[in-house]
Amino acid sequence: MRPIGSPNRQGGPRNEIQGDHGVTQLTDLIVRNEDRLLAQVLSLAEANGYLRFVPGTPEAWRATLRGLSGSLLQALRSDPSPPSLTADDVGRDDGLSAFGVVEARMRRREGMPLGIFFGLVKFFRQAYFDLVRSAGLPRESEEGHLRYIERFFDRNEVAVCVSWTAESVSGRVADLRQEHEELSRVYSLVATAKKEWEGTIDRVDDMLFLADPDRRIRRCNRTFREFIGRPYAEILGQPFDRLLAEAGVDVEPSFDHPVECFHERTGKWFVVAHYPFGEVAGGGPLPTIVTIHDSTELKKAAEELTRKNLRLNETLAALKRSQAKVLHQEKMASIGQLAAGVAHEINNPIGFINSNLSTLGKYLSRLSGYLAVQAECIAAGAPPELVESVRQQQARLKIDYIVKDLEDLVRESLEGAERVRSIVADLKSFSRVDESDYKQADLNECLRSTINIVWNEIKYKATLKKELGEIPRTRCYPQQMNQVFMNLLVNAAHAIENQGIITVRSWEEDGYVCVSVADTGHGIPEENLNRIFEPFFTTKEVGKGTGLGLSITYDIVKKHNGEITVRSEPGKGTEFTVRIPVVEEI
């Protein structure tokens, strides 16, 4: 069996196109039937669905046809012998397949698959075959032309395959090299970023580690390694619960909120926070990030801030109490000065009235004696008719009644003046502008003078019962004790809505002078009993009370090293008891 295109027995090529006539004959056939060839190629391409892969106008297809025909005819003129397919010829770069290779490269770059390209080449081959067979040429010429066309297309297909594959491999290698360079660059960036990130978290004072869904540590920073006391290799893959427990951090991290715990070994406070790392499809366990923050200094600062705030609040409250007390004391001092002035101003005219009434009483006594003597003389020596006239005149003028009534008027006026004098004395005693010293005083006397001062608040609402016992004198601030008793008496009167009873008692007990003020008013609710001595606390309507009376009373009693207690029953009444230690004169 001879190779394709090998010489025949006569020494000439088999089915070779004979002479210039054969070349001219095939050239004329192809040139004259260009439209026929184009129409058949388009028909085959459309019938087999290839036009959707090679869009374009018929003129674009004509350019391809002319290029292919030109390449075939040029090769034919160069060598009318059918192209060989030996191993040395396959893939050889020559003019015979130049156009096919260029066309294939263009189509490949447009994205056409190799199989589609070869299908189109088959249509062109078929069109040339049909043209030669329908030309009515002698058998030998026809076979020679067909043989040449077949070898031409075979060589082109082989050349296209070689070029297509080489360019694909070359392009793929170039792509791979570019991808490799890009990956190398990205890897370098990732490695740099990883190193920078590891350096960053290693410089963070907080402990930090990443754990897989099985709670085994995958990454951790330097602070955590130093706290655990193990090298990095021994920490990786270990359950973080066990490592934390061994280090003395016995806490279960929570996704809901950070957990605070105390580390007994170091005496520090830690805040352990738990964060999910990404999301896992299906709701399975998540990798987690755990941070452990040393909050000792922050906690100490917060505790110190809390203590300072508490002290500030206490200081502010004390300042408010002091300010209120000063204002109240200034007010009381002003009232005391006013009362002392009023007492002084009233005392002078009352002295005149009292003196004049006393003199009037003496004069009346003398007049009464004189009238009695006069009446006896008239009765003894005067004519009866004159005596009768005097008697009638005395009866008409009601001289006897006037003399008797004058005695009552003078007596009552003297009692009233004495009452005014007593009130003025009590008012002056209560004000005690010149007696603010710590001195011996009788608390019963303080009670009596205070009752006289506030009597107008009491007399219309309550009956006052005084049960004052024998008590020793004691060193105190009398003016301040007057204020204590005044506050208690006024509060008792205000607690009674209609008519009630106020009972004031005093006695000595275990070295203390005790004074109680009880009323039958509405009482104090149990929830308010613990607050009645607070500054500004009041149950009265706005504008009816400042809430300072009992607060100041409490402070004054404490200033005397005493105590004040209260018992109350809503609807029945309240009793305040003041106990002041007996302090003898030094």
Indicate if 244 and 280 belong to the same structural domain: yes
Would you say the C-alpha torsion 147, 153, 157, 163 has a positive or negative sign? Answer: positive
Q: Give residue 418's pLDDT.
A: 64
Instruction: Please state, in angstroms and rounded to a whole number, the distance separating the CA atoms of residues 432 and 429.
Output: 5
Residue 198 within any structural domain of the chain: no
Indicate if 429 and 446 belong to the same structural domain: no
Residue type, 211: A
Indicate if 289 and 329 belong to the same structural domain: no
Indicate if 576 and 486 belong to the same structural domain: yes
Instruction: Please state, in angstroms and rounded to a whole number, the distance separating the CA atoms of residues 2 and 92.
Output: 22
Closest CA to 67 of 35, 40, 103: 103
Indicate if 570 and 473 belong to the same structural domain: yes
Residue 202 within any structural domain of the chain: no
Report pTM: 0.37
CATH code assigned at 87: 1.10.490.10
Give the total number of structural domains in the chain: 4
Beta bridge partners of 474: 441
Q: Give residue 434's pLDDT.
A: 43
Which of 263, 294, 325 terminates a domain? The answer is: 294
Indicate if 24 and 154 belong to the same structural domain: yes
Indicate if 265 and 254 belong to the same structural domain: yes
Indicate if 230 and 325 belong to the same structural domain: no
| CB of 572 closer than 8 Å to CB of 520 | yes
Residue 312 within any structural domain of the chain: no
Supply the range of the domain harboring residue 410: 317-434
Residue 72 within any structural domain of the chain: yes
Residue 188 within any structural domain of the chain: no
Helix (H, G, I), strand (E, B) or coil at 297: helix
Instruction: Please state, in angstroms and rounded to a whole number, the distance separating the CA atoms of residues 327 and 414.
Output: 41
Helices and strands per DSSP (H, E), number in the chain: 15, 12
Indicate if 27 and 157 belong to the same structural domain: yes
Indicate if 477 and 502 belong to the same structural domain: yes
C-alpha dist (Å) from residue 52 to 62, 68, 115, 166, 204: 17, 22, 14, 27, 63
Residue 494 within any structural domain of the chain: yes
| CB of 459 closer than 8 Å to CB of 365 | no
Which of 155, 177, 199 terminates a domain? The answer is: 177
Residue 60 within any structural domain of the chain: yes
Instruction: Please state, in angstroms and rounded to a whole number, the distance separating the CA atoms of residues 461 and 544.
Output: 18
Contacts of 74 (CB under 8 A, 6+ apart): 95
Q: Give residue 334's pLDDT.
A: 45
DSSP-derived letter for residue 97 is G
208 sits in which H/E element? strand 207-211
- For 206-219, letters b (16+ CB in 10 Å) and e give ebbbbbeeebebeb
CATH code assigned at 285: 3.30.450.20
Q: In tens digits, what is the pLDDT along the chain, a chain of 586 residues?
A: 333 333 333 334 444 555 567 788 888 898 899 999 989 988 898 888 888 877 667 788 888 888 888 888 888 888 888 887 776 666 565 677 788 888 888 888 888 888 888 888 999 999 999 999 998 899 998 998 899 999 888 888 888 888 788 777 766 677 777 777 888 888 888 878 778 777 787 788 888 888 888 888 888 888 888 888 888 888 888 888 888 888 888 777 766 778 888 888 888 888 888 777 765 455 556 688 888 888 888 888 888 888 888 888 888 777 766 665 555 554 555 455 445 555 555 666 666 576 767 777 766 676 666 676 667 676 676 677 777 777 777 777 777 777 777 777 777 777 777 666 666 655 555 555 444 578 899 999 999 988 988 888 888 889 999 999 999 999 998 888 988 999 999 989 988 988 899 999 999 999 999 999 999 998 888 888 888 888 776 766 544 555 677 888 898 999 999 999 999 999 899 999 999 999 987 6
Which of 414, 434, 454 terminates a domain? The answer is: 434
Indicate if 409 and 397 belong to the same structural domain: yes
Residue 558 within any structural domain of the chain: yes
CATH code assigned at 450: 3.30.565.10
Indicate if 457 and 586 belong to the same structural domain: yes
